[in-house]
């Protein structure tokens, strides 16, 4: 009888771990948002946009950070930590190690996801040809320098600064 309970308990643990891994897999498939001047979504394609010309007056490095995490890091970290903790000890020690591993894994997974949700960016100040000043933040994948002539593109989504 005790062996049957142990087998059922093991199957429940395996099922819970499989469910966590499935959840992490489905969440990790979510698209990473882009702040690049070179990336358009499907809905932004083939739409008329306004182009204004200007000159870069300042460029400052910044960090672009996601508004919030998806939770995949917490779930994945908890699953991995729980599995690792479950392999330690036996009896009550095993249960404590499983819970402790899950908590530590969740914290580590969240920290990793937060770090992955940051990217280098630029804060670009542009003096438009009409004299107005505009500041646009975007990913640092398009090199821009002070006194460079640029176009400021807006109207179908985010505003973008690209060299002429």
Interval 10-32: pLDDT, tens: 554 545 554 445 455 444 445 56
Q: Which residue has the higher pLDDT, 127 or 8?
A: 127
Q: CA 135, CA 130: separation in Å to the nearest integer? A: 15
Helix intervals (H) in the chain: 2-28, 72-86, 92-116
DSSP state letters, 119-158: EEEEEEEEEETTS-EEEEEEETTS---TT-EEEEEESSSS
**Contact yes or no for 119/106 (Cβ under 8 A):** no
First to last CA, the chain: 77
Say how many CA atoms lie within 13 Å of 50 toward its Cβ: 7
Task: Note the pLDDT of residue 63.
Answer: 93
- Going by C-alpha positions, the residue among 123, 155, 130 that lies closest to residue 56 is 123
Work out the mean pLDDT of the chain and round it to a whole number: 79
Per-residue confidence (pLDDT) for residue 28, from 0 to 100:
47
Identify which has the larger pLDDT, 85 or 22: 85
Please give the pLDDT value at position 112.
72
Instruction: Enter the tokens of residue 155.
Output: 């109207």
Q: What is the mean pLDDT of residues 93-120?
A: 79
Task: List pLDDT tens digits, range 111-152.
Answer: 777 666 788 999 999 999 999 999 999 999 999 999 999 999
Give all domains of the chain, ordered by start, each with its CATH number: 1-30+68-116 (no CATH), 34-66+118-164 (2.40.50.100)
Residue 8's pLDDT band (cuts 50, 70, 90): very low
User: Confidence band (pLDDT; 50, 70, 90) for 69?
Assistant: low
**120 touches 139 (CB < 8 A):** yes
């Amino acid at each position: 009888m005790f062996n049957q309970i142990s087998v059922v308990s093991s199957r429940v643990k395996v099922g819970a771990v499989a469910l966590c891994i499935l959840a992490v897999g489905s969440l990790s498939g979510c698209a990473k948002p882009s702040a690049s001047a070179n990336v358009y979504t499907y809905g932004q394609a083939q739409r008329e946009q306004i182009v204004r010309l200007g000159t870069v007056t300042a460029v400052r490095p910044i960090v672009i950070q996601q508004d919030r995490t998806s939770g995949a890091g917490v779930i994945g970290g908890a699953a991995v930590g729980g599995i690792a903790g479950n392999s330690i000890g036996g009896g009550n020690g095993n249960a404590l190690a499983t819970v402790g591993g899950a908590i530590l894994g969740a914290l580590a997974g969240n920290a990793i996801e937060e770090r992955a949700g940051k990217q280098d960016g630029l804060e670009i100040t542009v003096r438009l040809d009409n004299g107005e000043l505009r500041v646009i933040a975007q990913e640092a994948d398009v090199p821009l320098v002070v006194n460079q002539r640029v176009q400021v593109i807006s109207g179908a989504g985010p505003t973008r600064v690209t060299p002429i």
